Amino acid sequence: MTTPSIPVRLTLWAKDLENTGGFFRSKSDPYAVVQLKKSVVDDVEDLGTTEVIKNSLDPHWTSSFNFDFEISDACSLKVSIYDKNSKGKSMKDDPYMGGTVFSVGTVLGKRGNSMGKRIRSGGTIYAHIEREEKVGRFLFQLRGIDLKNVEDSLLSKSDPFFEISRQVEGGGEWSVVYRSEHVKKNLSPLWNSTKIDLDRLCGAEANLQNVLKLSVFDHESSGKHLLIGSLETTISELIAAKKFGGGGDAGNGDGFLELFDSKSKCSGTIAVLQARIVGIPMKPVEDIPEVDVPEEIARPTFVDYLSGGCELNLCIALDFTGSNGDPRVPDTLHYLSKDGSLNAYETAISKIGSILADYDTDKQFPVW
């Protein structure tokens, strides 16, 4: 019997990476390469490569990687980080910054489905895995109004772009989900409209009240972007702001969101020109007939239980009745082989226990 696969999504970030260029050059421009290895097959699957984050040793990549997860398969993810060489023609020319391997089960078994691992070369790589759920997409477009100019020169204006981050449960870490294009020398920029999978913003449960952070920066070609201001919001609030102030008229104060700089001073406002959920059929409540929902539609998956805080305790019971045979005799269930080969009980414990152990937080397994 095969266990059903569950579509999941991986996101990554890192902190305190070692600068491969040393002290006499700018910071590294890291990107990550991700490979998936399943225990049931010998092949390694290339899941893809993140975008390059310029001049940063604390990269937050917006790229995500989708794959199918089965609880019965002890699959792992290999993450390798490289420093993008501007003169290099391929990955072989890019300095290796470090890497590690994550067990998918171990990450899912951690609080918030997130885990960090120190790497030998210096720094920590973080992985977050959650169930991928097609619950629609969020279509939106933003405009900045009278943003604070953070350029040193009075003759120049900021080149604003914005990021939307979601808080990763359990760790309090903000994970960047989307990064816009920058608009050159404009303190009232109009950014392009875009669509983001709703579950990336709100989780598989599509909770429109999940808190998001919107941060606006002045783009610098060096990668040392300057914060203009930030605010916390929700999908519901963005949709409401579109309803009451979506025209983007600076003379109308209704529906605008205020940005605040690092000193808690107002640094501009954000107008929401578009904000709606698309890609799922929606009907008015009064038009939906009362029907019995089949049980299988609402049944949560194993990943849902883990995301909700469920913990497992692995307990093992062994049958030592005489019918199992003399443990000194080969081919009996409890025979201890001198060559180290496993008997039937040890084989079962090894195969099942090695998978379930990932989801037992204290890693202490009672045995009877």
- DSSP labels for 268-312? EEEEEEEEEEESS----GGGS---PPPHHHHPPPHHHHHHTT---
Domain 6-131 and domain 137-278, same fold? Reply is yes
Architecture per CATH, domain 6-131, reads as: Sandwich (2.60)
Q: CB atoms < 10 A from the CB of 77, how many? A: 21
Identify the band that residue 260 occupies on the pLDDT scale cut at 50, 70 and 90.
Answer: very high
Q: How many angstroms separate the CA atoms of 227 and 241, rounded?
A: 23
At 119, list the tokens.
């790497």
Q: What is the CATH number of domain 137-278?
A: 2.60.40.150
Q: Is the pLDDT of residue 64 over 50?
A: yes
The pTM is what?
0.76
- Cβ within 8 Å of residue 265, ≥6 positions away: none
Please tell me the predicted confidence (pLDDT) of residue 162.
Answer: 97
Q: Which residue has the higher pLDDT, 110 or 229?
A: 229
Using alpha carbons, list the distances in angstroms from residue 316 to 29, 174, 211, 348, 365: 48, 39, 41, 11, 7
3-state SS class at 319: coil
Place of tokens 């792992």: 76
What is the reported pLDDT for 185? Answer: 94
Residue 326: per-residue pLDDT: 85
Contacts for 297 with CB less than 8 Å, ≥ 6 apart: none
Instruction: Say if strands 96-103 and 76-83 run parallel, antiparallel, or are unpaired.
Output: antiparallel
Of 4 and 61, more confident: 61
pLDDT at residue number 23: 61
Which pLDDT score, from 0 to 100, does residue 62 have? 95
35 has a pLDDT exceeding 70: yes
Q: What is the pLDDT of residues 332-365, one digit of tens each?
A: 888 888 888 888 888 888 888 888 888 887 888 9
Give percent of the chain with pLDDT exceeding 90. Answer: 47
Region 37-62: mean pLDDT is: 89
Per DSSP, what are the bridge partners of residue 275? 140
pLDDT for 25: 67
In this structure, are residues 182 and 210 in contact, taking their beta carbons and an 8 Å threshold?
no
Band of pLDDT at residue 149, cut at 50, 70 and 90: very high
DSSP state of 368: -
Backbone phi, psi, residue 127, to 5°: -125, 140
Place of tokens 């875009």: 194
What is d(CA 345, CA 91) in angstroms, rounded to the nearest whole number? 47
At residue 293 the predicted structure's pLDDT band, cuts being 50, 70 and 90, is: very low
The yes-or-no verdict on residue 250 having pLDDT over 80 is no
Write down the pLDDT at residue 298. 52
Q: How confident is the model at residue 169 (pLDDT cuts 50, 70, 90)?
A: low
pLDDT band of 229, cuts 50, 70, 90: very high
Query: What's the average model confidence in pLDDT over 34-53?
Result: 88
Q: Nearest CA to 359 among 143, 106, 147?
A: 106
Residue 50 has pLDDT above 70, yes or no: yes
Does 230 score more than 50 pLDDT? yes
Q: Pick from 14-28, 45-59, 85-99, 171-185 the range whose average pLDDT is largest.
A: 45-59
Q: pLDDT digits over 157-168, tens only?
A: 999 999 999 987
Domain coordinates in residue numbering, the chain: 6-131, 137-278, 311-368
pLDDT of residue 191 exceeding 90, the answer is: yes
Tokens of 320: 């030592």
